[in-house]
Every structure is written in C-alpha cells, then in structure tokens.
C-alpha cells in the first residue's frame, strides 16, 4: 500500500511537471508569434488560466508530499519503540526511522549506565570521605592540617584538647590556633614557607588552666614541590608530659644514686672531724678570758653545729631508712605542716591557701611530712621581699591515668619569680641550690621520699608567674 501511494504521488508530480513545461512552451510560442497584441491576449489569458488551475493543486500537494516522510519520522519517534517489520517491506524512510530509534534506545541505555556509574561513584566518594573522617576522629594523637595560607582545615578532638582550642578551630590561622605553643607555631611557619620536615620535636605548651605541658610533635609538608612552598602542613601532636617528667625523674634518680654511693663514705669522715671540731669549740668557749674570744668561740660552735646538721641530713639522704607504711590522711598531714610553718609564713608575709580534694594514701607519715614541709618552706622562701603578690597555694585532686590507676595529685604553687629553664633539670640534685643561704638538700630529699613511695615530683613554671611543684602519689 505504501509503495502504491508513492507511485501515484510520483505520477502526479510528473503530470504536473509536464503540464507546466507545456504551458511554458505555449507561452514562448505565443510570445514569438508575429500577430498583433490584441489577438495574443485571449491566448495568453487562456494559457494563464490553465496554468493556474494545474499549478494550484500541485502547489498545495507538493509540500505535503515532501513533508510526509518527516511527519512519519516524527510520529514514529513519538511512538517509539516500534515493532520490527519484515526486512523486505521496508523502504528508505522506515530504515532511517528504525536506525534513529535504535540510536535513541542505545543513547538511553548508555544514559542509564552513566547514571548508575555516577551514583556508585558518589556513593564511593561519600563512603571514602566518611571513612577518612572516622580515621581522623579515631587517631589517639592530635592531628591538625593546614592549607597553603596557614588556615586549619582538619582538627580532631585530641588536638583540640591539647591546644585548648575554644570554639570552632577550622578556618583559624596557625598563629592564632597555636598561640599556647609558640615553638610549634614557628615550626609550622618554617614548614609552610620552606617545606622543612620536623620529626619528633619537643615543644612546651600551656593548657587553659595554666598547667605546663610537653608536646611531642611531627610537622610535615603536604605535597611539597621542589623549589616552592608546600601546599599545606600536617601536624601530629602527642602529650609527653608524663614521659618527660619520668625521664627527668629517672635522670635525677641516677644522679642521686651516683652521689649517694660516692659520698656515703665521706660523710662519716666529715662527721668524725666535725665531732672533734665541736669539742674543741666547746673547750675554747670555756677557757676564753675576754668577751671577744668568747664571741669567736660561740660563732665557731654555731658553724660547727650547722655543718653537723647538714652532714646528718646528707647521711639521711644517702642512706634512706626503710618505709613504715600506714594509712595517711593527706589533708591532716598538710594541715599539720601548715601549723608548723605558720611562723615562717607570717614572718615572710605570705598567704597560704589550701583547697581541693585530698585522699588517704599508703605511706610513711614521718617521711611524707618531711617532704611536704620542704616543698612548702621552699615555696615561701621563693617569694622575694619586693614581690607584690605573696601567696602559696596547695591544691589537691584525684586523677586517673590511662591504665585506670588512681593518683593523689598535690600542686604547690607560689607567686615568686619562678625557676630558670636551665635549673629545672638540676634543682633535685643534692647541694644544688639557687638560694644564698640554702644547702640544696631539701628538694632532693623530698624527691627521694616521693620516689620511694612510687610517685613522682616534677617542677615547672606557671604561665601566671612563679613555680609549680606537682607531687603525685598512688592511691
């Protein structure tokens, strides 16, 4: 049927074309006839009329015939997909239509595949991002990442705690975020500017409550380019305060052991010589005739007694006595020490503040009393005569370490000038003192007593000024 319609259309088109050619030929002959104009007018009108009658149907039907394949293509595309027909019944239009439908179907299938691939890629990206966030959040050490401009892009929870970051940490500059650790800020600046790598550096930091901390840090550049700045910096932070204190305590203990072994024998010789000097000084005091001689003998006797007391203290330190363990109330012990030193604090016009929570510990009350007396006396004497703030604070607290063990922590803080950084590692060595009238035995003895009780004693400088001695005893 379709082929028949196409043949009729082709025949009509040929007929119309032949009529148009015949009319054109007739017009040409009439125009060339040697007749008058009045005789050619009827002929020309007849030819024009016939041509118009023949041409009008052709004018209306020809566009319809020409646009019919396009209409079929559009109609079939709207009804796609179309059932396949017998190959022998296809014409060119149907072949083009089916080819177009196949291309459209293939494009739709590829679009669905692309959408599925895009969905899987988005799911994988979201899963990878969530996994990365979980890894960063699960890292026990502090982790901070900075971009090329020095702004923080990633700050996990341990890093917020170590840096005492208040509020939102992301987006802040390294100088602001690391204000409590100036050395770390300088390391990050060098890493960003020069691409330097810093491994296992130790920096000092101050917590929000004023406590001094030691941080172990590693600062590495992110995607460093040769001869150019790094695209960022990655910081790994670890609190090594306890490790540093234990390291210093171990070094001090070794020094003390060496000094004890070396000087234990010498102390007896000094004591024997001092006993002889003490006897001679007493003899001179009795045989002196005038006031001047008696005053000299008395001064000599006082010096000998002072040296004897110092040697006795050193002997007690060098040869510690075994502990007599019992339950000791830390609060009652500190109150007794405060009453014993009340005269010293009033004489130096120093206020004593005791607050916090104090627990009962297992220890030797006599030796612990001696250690705490030395710490309180040292804190009172560390405040200079010209210092405006004159205060010593004893604060107690219960703390749990990473293993779940309980500790009594007593902090003795003063408002003096603090301890020089070079002296922090030597103040527990016997006979090392920064005081003009001190012997350097009190802090060493206190350190040894605390160590024998299984605790630690550390010294640091407070951010507000003054020194802080932290005593830790196991509960």
Q: In sequence order, what DSSP letters do the residues of 279-314 get, joined into one string?
A: HHHHHHHHH--SHHHHHHHHHHHHHHHHHHHHHHHH
Give the pLDDT score at 4.
47
- Inter-CA distances, 288 with 281, 284, 295, 303, 305, Å: 10, 6, 9, 18, 19
Whether 119 is covered by a domain: the verdict is no
* Residue 289 and residue 255 share a domain: yes
Tokens describing residue 14: 């040929």
pLDDT in tens, the chain (475 residues): 444 455 656 666 666 667 667 666 666 666 666 555 556 566 666 666 666 666 666 656 666 666 666 666 666 655 655 444 444 445 566 777 777 788 888 888 888 888 888 878 777 776 666 655 565 555 667 888 888 888 888 888 788 878 877 767 777 888 888 888 888 888 888 888 888 888 888 888 877 777 778 888 888 888 766 555 667 888 888 888 878 877 777 777 777 666 666 666 666 667 777 777 777 777 777 776 677 777 777 777 777 777 776 676 666 656 666 778 888 888 999 999 999 888 888 888 889 999 988 888 888 888 888 889 889 988 888 888 888 888 899 999 988 877 778 899 999 999 888 888 777 777 777 666 666 555 566 788 888 888 888 888 888 888 777 889 999 998 8
CA–CA separation, 396 vs 330, rounded Å?
Answer: 9
- Inter-CA distances, 173 with 5, 148, 152, 176, 188, Å: 82, 11, 6, 5, 11
Whether 100 is covered by a domain: the verdict is no
Tokens describing residue 161: 């705690």
Give the pLDDT score at 318.
60
Give the pLDDT score at 89.
47
- Domain extent, residue 420, equals 326-474
Give the pLDDT score at 86.
46
Whether 160 is covered by a domain: the verdict is yes
Q: What angle do helix axes 92-138 and 37-78 make, rounded to 10 degrees? A: 40
CB 472 within 8 A of CB 456: yes
* Residue 398 and residue 343 share a domain: yes
Tokens describing residue 294: 């008696």
* Residue 422 and residue 312 share a domain: no
CA–CA separation, 252 vs 456, rounded Å?
Answer: 11
* Residue 443 and residue 350 share a domain: yes
- Of 78, 96, 119, the one marking the end of a domain is 78
Whether 335 is covered by a domain: the verdict is yes
CA–CA separation, 140 vs 130, rounded Å?
Answer: 18
Whether 134 is covered by a domain: the verdict is no
CA–CA separation, 467 vs 378, rounded Å?
Answer: 10
CA–CA separation, 256 vs 454, rounded Å?
Answer: 16
* Residue 296 and residue 168 share a domain: no
Whether 268 is covered by a domain: the verdict is yes
CA–CA separation, 48 vs 18, rounded Å?
Answer: 15
* Residue 250 and residue 233 share a domain: no
* Residue 48 and residue 175 share a domain: no
CA–CA separation, 75 vs 258, rounded Å?
Answer: 105
* Residue 301 and residue 433 share a domain: no
Give the pLDDT score at 213.
80
Q: Return the CATH number at 392.
A: 3.30.565.10
SS3 128: helix
- Of 193, 216, 239, the one marking the end of a domain is 239
- Of 285, 318, 351, the one marking the end of a domain is 318
Whether 105 is covered by a domain: the verdict is no
CA–CA separation, 357 vs 334, rounded Å?
Answer: 12
- Residue 233: what are its φ and ψ, rounded to 5°? -140, 145
Whether 133 is covered by a domain: the verdict is no
Q: In sequence order, what DSSP letters do the residues of 142-196 get, joined into one string?
A: EEEEEETTSBEEEE-HHHHHHHT--S--TT-BHHHHTTT-HHHHHHHHHHHHH--
- Residue 283: what are its φ and ψ, rounded to 5°? -65, -45
CA–CA separation, 455 vs 84, rounded Å?
Answer: 92
* Residue 333 and residue 314 share a domain: no
* Residue 249 and residue 234 share a domain: no
* Residue 61 and residue 28 share a domain: yes
SS3 271: helix
Q: Return the CATH number at 228.
A: 3.30.450.20
How many domains is the chain built from?
A: 4
* Residue 332 and residue 252 share a domain: no
């Amino acid at each position: 049927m379709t082929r028949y319609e196409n043949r009729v259309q082709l025949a009509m088109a040929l007929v119309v074309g032949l009529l148009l050619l015949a009319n054109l030929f007739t017009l040409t002959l009439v125009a060339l006839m040697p007749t008058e104009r009045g005789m050619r007018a009827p002929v020309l009108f007849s030819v024009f009329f016939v041509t118009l009658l023949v041409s009008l149907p052709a004018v209306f039907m020809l566009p319809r015939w020409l646009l019919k394949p396009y209409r079929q293509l559009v109609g079939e595309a709207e009804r796609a997909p179309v059932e396949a027909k017998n190959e022998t019944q296809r014409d060119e239009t149907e072949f083009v239509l089916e080819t177009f439908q196949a291309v459209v179907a293939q494009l739709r299938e590829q679009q669905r595949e692309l959408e599925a691939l895009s969905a899987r890629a988005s799911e994988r990206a979201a899963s990878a991002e969530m996994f990365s966030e979980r890894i960063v959040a699960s890292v026990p050490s502090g982790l901070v990442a900075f971009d090329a401009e020095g702004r923080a892009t990633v700050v996990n929870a341990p890093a917020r705690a170590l840096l005492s970051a208040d509020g939102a940490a992301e987006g802040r500059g390294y100088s602001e975020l690391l204000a409590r650790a100036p050395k770390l800020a300088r390391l990050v600046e060098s890493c960003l500017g020069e691409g330097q790598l810093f491994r296992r550096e130790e920096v000092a930091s101050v917590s929000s409550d004023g406590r001094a901390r030691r941080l172990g840090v590693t600062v590495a550049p992110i995607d460093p380019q040769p001869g150019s700045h790094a695209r960022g910096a990655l910081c790994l932070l670890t609190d090594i305060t306890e490790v540093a204190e234990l390291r210093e305590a171990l070094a001090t203990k070794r020094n003390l052991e060496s000094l004890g072994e070396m000087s234990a024998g010498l102390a007896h010789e000094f004591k024997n010589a001092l006993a002889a000097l003490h006897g001679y000084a007493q003899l001179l005091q009795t045989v002196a005739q005038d006031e001047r001689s008696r005053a000299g003998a008395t001064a000599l006797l006082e010096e000998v007694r002072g040296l004897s007391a110092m040697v006795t203290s050193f002997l007690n330190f060098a040869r510690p006595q075994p502990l007599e363990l019992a339950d000791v109330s830390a609060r009652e012990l500190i109150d007794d020490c405060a009453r014993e030193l009340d005269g010293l604090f009033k004489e130096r016009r120093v206020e004593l503040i005791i607050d916090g929570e104090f627990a009962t510990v297992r220890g030797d009350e006599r030796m612990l009393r001696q250690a705490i007396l030395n710490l309180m006396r040292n804190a009172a004497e560390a405040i200079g005569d010209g210092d405006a703030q004159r205060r010593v604070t004893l604060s107690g607290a219960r703390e749990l370490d990473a293993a779940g063990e309980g500790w009594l922590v007593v902090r003795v803080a003063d408002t003096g000038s603090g301890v020089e950084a070079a002296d922090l590692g030597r103040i527990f060595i016997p006979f090392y003192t920064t005081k003009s009238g001190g012997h350097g035995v009190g802090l060493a003895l206190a350190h040894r007593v605390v160590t024998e009780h299984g605790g630690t004693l550390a010294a640091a400088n407070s951010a507000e000024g003054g020194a802080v001695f932290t005593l830790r005893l196991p509960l």
